[in-house]
Amino acid sequence: MCKTLFCLLFITIPQSSFYKCKEDPKLIRAIVKVESRGYARAMSKSAGAVGLMQVMPKSFRRWCRYKDPLCTSLLLYPPLNMSEGCRILWRWKRRSRGNLRRALQAYNCGNRGLRDECGVGYANNVLRRVRR
């Protein structure tokens, strides 16, 4: 089993598996700006999210075991973090039936963003940056 970051990135996870983001680049840039201010090694103290798009390691379980410290290291790799962030946003957009505002709320709050007004400020902030 791989124990090094290099091994995990280039042997265990084939590069072709990186999700090709189909979202508007302005939208992704706005999310990165709001989530991490463009700092690739950003780590949320309260929620535990990491990287440019502040992906939660637990949402990345298909590659890592729960609470695996290597998983957090993997998510600090910008192409993988962006890939996962785009994949998560796409899933929320699909679950919200194409409603981008609701998808952004859910990206910020999880299922609560689809049900109530959680994440409205976050969604407005991202959409405001997209329009600039």
pLDDT tens digits, 6-61 = 444 444 444 444 556 778 888 888 998 999 888 888 888 887 888 889 988 777 66
Ramachandran angles phi, psi of 28, nearest 5°: -65, -40
**Interval 97-119 mean pLDDT:** 88
CB atoms within 10 A of CB 4: 11
| pTM exceeding the 0.85 threshold for the entire prediction | no
Q: What integer pLDDT is reported at residue 105 of this predicted model? A: 93
- Greatest distance between any 2 Cα atoms in the chain: 46
Handedness of CA 47, 44, 99, 95 (dihedral sign): negative
| Average pLDDT value for residue range 100-104 | 93
